[in-house]
Chains A and B, each alone.
Chain A
Amino acid sequence: MEKTGSVDSLGSSSRQPSVDSLSSSSTSRSDRSSLARPPALSPESAAAHLAPPELRTTGKTYDKAFRGSGKDDPELLPKEVIQIVAKDVTYICPFVGALRGTLTVTNYRLFFRCINREPAFVLDLPLGVISKVDKISGACSRGDVSYGLVCKDMRNLRFVYKPPEDSLQKSAFDVLNKFAFPTSNNLPLFAFQYDQVFPEIGWKVYDALGEYKRQGLPNESWRMSKVNDHYELCDSYPACLVVPVTITDDELRRVAAFRAKGRIPVLSWIHPESQAAVVRSSQPMSGVSGKRCKDDEKLLQAIMDANAQSHKLFIFDARPSVNATANKTKGGGCESEDAYQNAELVFLDIHNIHVMRESLRKLKEVVYPNIEDSHWLSNLESTHWLEHIKLILAGALRIADKVESGKTSVVVHCSDGWDRTAQLTSLTMVMLDAHYRTITGFQTLIDKEWISFGHRFQQRVGHGDQNHTDADRSPIFLQFIDCVWQMTQQFPAAFEFNENFLITVLDHLYSCLFGTFLCNSEQQRVREEVSKRTVSLWSLVNSQLEEFVNPLYVNYNSHVLLPSVSLRHLQLWLTYYIRWNPRMRPQEPVHQRYKELLAKRAELQKRVEELQREVASRASASSERAGSPTRSITPVQTFV
């Protein structure tokens, strides 16, 4: 036997999606309701599963769900208005077949209810998840028209509906088309109308100065620069930037001219001990001729010098080297090692947004609605989705390793520095800094690396936009959340949040209920007064934290997580990608059991304390009588 004795190695965990999502994730399956439920399932979920995904998150306190309500109408959110109600609409469910019911369209949601079934079948989704409404002509009798809805959350829906013959009356799907794509129809997004008040204010979670202060910045090597205060230097960067003290604002302006979209190298994270920094930027505009920029070279030298531990700098170009070379013809490119002394350039071979979009499209084909039994794995392989996830995680792992054990500062960029770069820096930070594994820390991370540094959410998600085939759309943020989920599978006790939290974030990425993921940049967000006119997703999350807390969480302060990117450890996130499939049974409540054990421990500890007090008082009483003090029992210790 090997003496490696890894007590910890029995990780059934890594294959088990977090299970505290049990009740909630079952609620996310509206389609489930219609099916005969296997008797193995607990009955309580039968009631809960009627709630649609977007309402699941509104939980107990703000429960606007219509659980058990016998009405045809959804219970509306503040400022939500019913636009049209159409009777006798048929929903062609891929799992149970045709269902006849009533369709309601509001300015926020699509709501379909079929009451002829027991339990009643409900389909309830925010209009934001709809990517495309297709009118499928022909094949239908009696003037019926078939509509196909392509959704952003891995499903497609089909309805059959007979539009009113009276041309003055509006067709429900025309109304749907209008409200599903408010941006294309010059309507405001629902987030700007929704005015639910939550006890917690999510907009207060992230404060750039506070976050840098937490990292110990500014310090003797790094300063805060006001050069982008009015978004003049770079309109897609935040106002608050951290740069080496030795570089003046004028020099930064000259660097901006040399970097794509003016996205200059600035600090994202600094190692608390070694002072090695994670710096992000866009590609240099070196072009075919290999242009150089003295100020850029000086800036990178300064970044290297700011870290006394290492005399090297690693530049991670997230792209495959072929793509980087191809970019030269468009004026872009990558740093040449001649121009940047002591710098080493590494390509991470992560593909661009178009490849990712195509991969997800294929994945959707493979998992929805039905999964082919015999070729499941090879079909999954053909999507390359896991391969992309692996490359992103492997890239972040290399960066984290350089910073942590190499104590070397790194510069990360791709082309524009807002997609792959955001994925890599944020994942690196999750690996290196335990703060980002807490709920508020993770919110900060998203606010900082994604939202403030200008990941183009509006373009990548296409909020309210009709142009389904827009080449700017891409599931970059979804991939990041997937990577985080992969890490939670390998380190089930290292994250404060659970799977439900990640799914909630993704659901609201599309829902347009909250302002969190609107717009393309901080500048736009300020201009649109997003933080004044909308509610933050974090308001909801932080007002009902108990739904999102991982019971296994142990705060390992100083720990670095280095996930394995071996295929044997990566897996498809079934509870997200296949959640609409009624055969996707939620995991058994392992975490529920853990919660029970925790509660029992708390109870026992209380009991021990009570008894100790009693013993102590009795002992002192009896010692007064007998005159012999009794030794008290060892105090109870708690452990993490």
Chain B
Amino acid sequence: MEHIRTPKVEQVKLLDRFSNKTTTGTLHLTATHLIFVESNVSGAHEIWILHHHIASVEKLSLTTTGCPLLIQCRNFRVVHFVVPRERDCHDIYSSLLHLLRPESYDELYAFSYNPKQNEQQREEGWQLLDLTAEFERMGLPCDQWQLTDVNRDYKVCETYPRDLYVPITASKPIIVGSSKFRSKGRFPVLTYFYQEKKAAVCRCSQPLSGFSARCLEDEHMLQAISRANHNSRFVYVMDTRPKLNALANRAAGKGYENEDNYSNIRFQFVGIENIHVMRASLQKLLEVVGTRALSVTDYLAGLESSGWLRHVKAIVDAAIFLTKAVTVEGASVLVHCSDGWDRTAQVCSLGALLMDPYYRTLKGFMVLIEKDWISFGHKFADRCDQLDGDPREVSPVFTQFLDCVWQLMEQFPQDFEFSEWFLIQLHEHVHSCQFGNFLGNSQRQREELQLKERTYSLWAHLFSERHHCLNPLYSLSSAEKHPVLEPLTQPWNFRFWRNMYHQFDRSMHPRQSVLKHTLALKESNVQLEATVHALKMKLQKLGVSTSPLELLSRPWEHGPPSRPRSLILGAPLSRKEAQQEEEEEEVLGEEALEDGPDGSGGERTAEGSSATENGYGELQDSFGSKSEPAVVSLELGVARMTC
């Protein structure tokens, strides 16, 4: 690449954000990554930073040790390098500035990423999710709702998908008329159908009502939605904006539905703030938690004044309102905000997650994202800043949605098939531009970019790693017992998502995790089942018939799932890293311990005597144990005390 002037700088220091720890190593700059390799003899520690992940590069003022370079990433990694020579630093800095925000889609990593799959595998990856099948699963089309081809060529609304479901009574002129009265042509369409009560969740953008304008077709459209549901005489219209914002929009010829003009609606403001407020809020939050010596006062006060948890709560509250209206009252709900691609996507998808246990499965959640976010045109390219664009369009709307989901997972640990790690992975790849799924702003644009022909699908990648993504506590019976989730929204139920925002800050990681223990236990059970099976086969060979294999409830034949290499740090980006992590696991020695009967069981040492064999890897590698007290680093201790 022409931008890379200095591909390699040696003797670069990496400063830890929360302690005084420094490591020295070599910095490599490639066409896609910035790589830091620790020049340590024992097990070189590497940091790979994808250029697309870099949010900002800052060159700080020169110090005696060198020129500091501060890099902030979208996946909340913050690295602070000190480059000995100012010229090298400047070279890296200016190269990164060119590399981090490409001007055209073709320069994105997805178009050069090649995971060594053949063409057929790649195509299959794109066929994993099928939205037509998803609408069929909901029971559509049915006697009240039909598929319309009005948007076949993206003529009516270019940010909507081709396939749209509308009430059977909504004729083409009504649709077209309604779309002309809606911002960006985003007319009301169905996004989720609650079969039990025949109630629909519909989405659209704000009406172009201004101070007094009305549109008969739009009124007909809402009537059609209302009439499609016999359970309720009216349809809720949720404007997810604060009332003030909606009022302000009227001056620009937009606004909200006037209850007098629409005969059968109940109008409701929800009060979720706009993308600019959310951007500032997350920025404030990150500033607070990024402070090194953070006092109790500053932390709690900062957390509150950032407003992040309050915004998260507002979205969950809105989703609860939606869920209650649909599942309890059996009413259809029309959700919109301004353009109907940010807050609307958040509320619709979170509501569906509360209503339908299917969306709480791994595949279901992918479908949900594919449907409510990707196909309905959440502007991933703009919001995630994929190309060099308007910084005012960037906003953590999707991150916030993931945060909401995480808050729900905290309240209902048994109801989600996927784990926190899966959410973090999603977040990682929404910004990585490594897979085609999230590129561009709309379905139409994605088709133009020929993403299905030229890039790989993230869903296939995540499916291939599905054993990492699963939540060991997931229980189907729990979903049967309460299919509709009713989260609590007292302020204490909303917490700072440490594993997301501190995912790269080693010193912030917990020491022991229940999840890990449960995973290990589950694995051992799988292996025991395998042993039982093997023994039974043996008995059968010996000519004894045994009872049916009642214990084989799991597909152990495919081998036990291996434990996630890292629950926090994300999937390895390269084979090399994968190897390293495998090596590390061996070094940690806990594998031997947690392996079942057919693993490396023979390598076990005497019980209770060695520090490495008691599963305290997390403690051991950061603090040492009695057998190696020297590793108990004071430095870390002090760091923990000051932050």
Contacts and interface: CB of A to CB of B under 8 A. Distances in A.
B296 A390 contact: yes
A322 interface: no
B461 to A, nearest CB: 15
Contacts of A2: 45-47, 504, 506, 569
Contacts of B566: 1, 4-7, 9
Interface stretch (A47-55, A501-509, A566-574): A566-574
B294 A6 contact: no
Interface string B275-294: 00000000000000100001
A583 B491 CA distance: 11
B531 A633 contact: yes
B414 interface: yes
A209 interface: no
A386 B568 CA distance: 27
Contacts of B593: 639-640
A256 B511 CA distance: 42
A170 interface: no
A10 B614 CA distance: 18
A2 B536 CA distance: 44
Given A5-B569, A8-B617, A273 B499 contact: no
B491 A6 contact: no
B310 interface: yes
B573 interface: yes
Classify chain B's interface size. 35 or more
Nearest to B18: A566
B541 to A, nearest CB: 9
B31 interface: no
A258 B637 CA distance: 34
B343 interface: no
Interface in A532-577: 552, 554-569, 571-572, 574
Interface in B614-643: 614-619, 621, 623-627, 629-630, 632-634, 637, 640-641, 643
Contacts of B580: 3, 5
Given A10-B420, A376-B492, A397-B641, A588 B301 contact: no
Interface string A459-470: 000000000000
A590 B473 contact: yes
A634 B597 contact: yes
Contacts of A584: 490
Interface string A580-601: 0101110111100110011011
B421 interface: yes
Nearest to A589: B414
A374 B309 CA distance: 10
Interface stretch (A73-81, A285-293, A400-408): A400-408
B510 A569 contact: yes
B513 A567 contact: no
A398 interface: yes
Interface string A76-107: 00000000000000000000000000000000
A3 B35 CA distance: 12
A611 B491 CA distance: 54
A558 to B, nearest CB: 5
Interface string B552-577: 00000000000111111111110001
B87 interface: no
B473 A5 contact: no
Contacts of A611: 532, 535-536, 539
A597 B525 CA distance: 8
A636 B597 contact: yes
Interface in A1-39: 1-16, 38-39
Contact of B538 (A384, A633, A639): A633
Interface in A355-387: 371, 373-378, 380-381, 384, 386-387
B300 interface: yes
B516 interface: yes
B372 interface: no
Interface stretch (B158-166, B171-179, B221-229, B481-489): B481-489
B549 to A, nearest CB: 11
A1 B47 contact: yes
B551 to A, nearest CB: 7
B512 A637 contact: no
Interface stretch (A186-194, A198-206, A240-248, A489-497): A489-497
B413 interface: yes
In terms of DSSP, what is the predominant structure of the interface of chain A?
loop
A598 B616 CA distance: 20
A378 B301 contact: yes
Contacts of A16: 410, 413, 514
Contacts of B577: 1, 3
B629 A39 contact: no
Given A16-B514, A568-B289, A637-B596, A6 B569 contact: yes
Interface string A160-176: 00000000000000000
Interface string B514-527: 11111011101100
Nearest to B522: A597
A615 interface: yes
Nearest to B38: A3
Nearest to A39: B482
B510 A490 contact: yes
A6 B509 contact: yes
A98 B520 CA distance: 50
Contact of A564 (B486, B511, B564): B511
B297 interface: yes
A594 B517 contact: yes
Contact of A9 (B499, B615, B632): B499
B627 A583 contact: no
A289 B529 CA distance: 76
A11 B614 contact: no
A13 B513 contact: yes
B154 to A, nearest CB: 38
A618 B542 contact: yes
B512 A601 contact: no
B304 A375 contact: yes
A308 interface: no
B281 to A, nearest CB: 14
A376 B627 contact: no
A464 B535 CA distance: 65
Given A572-B492, A601-B528, A615-B542, A13 B569 contact: no
Interface string A258-300: 0000000000000001100000000000000000000000000
Contacts of B304: 375-378, 381
Contacts of A612: 535
B614 A1 contact: no
Contacts of B569: 1-2, 4-6, 9
A383 B447 CA distance: 57
Given A7-B563, A10-B421, A377 B495 contact: no
A492 B514 contact: yes
A605 interface: yes
B111 interface: no
A407 B529 CA distance: 47
Interface string B376-413: 00000000000000000000000000000000011111
A249 to B, nearest CB: 34
B199 interface: no
Contact of B48 (A1, A387, A554): A1
A216 B629 CA distance: 21
Nearest to A572: B492
A559 B534 contact: no
B300 A380 contact: yes
14 contacts: A3-B577, A6-B569, A7-B567, A381-B304, A401-B634, A554-B517, A561-B511, A563-B511, A581-B490, A611-B532, A611-B539, A615-B538, A635-B597, A639-B524
Given A371-B490, A378-B304, 12 more contacts: A1-B47, A2-B45, A9-B618, A13-B510, A273-B626, A371-B492, A377-B309, A490-B512, A568-B508, A600-B525, A636-B531, A639-B524
Q: Which 9 A-B pairs have the closest CB atoms?
A: A11-B510, A10-B567, A376-B491, A381-B300, A8-B618, A377-B304, A9-B509, A611-B535, A11-B513
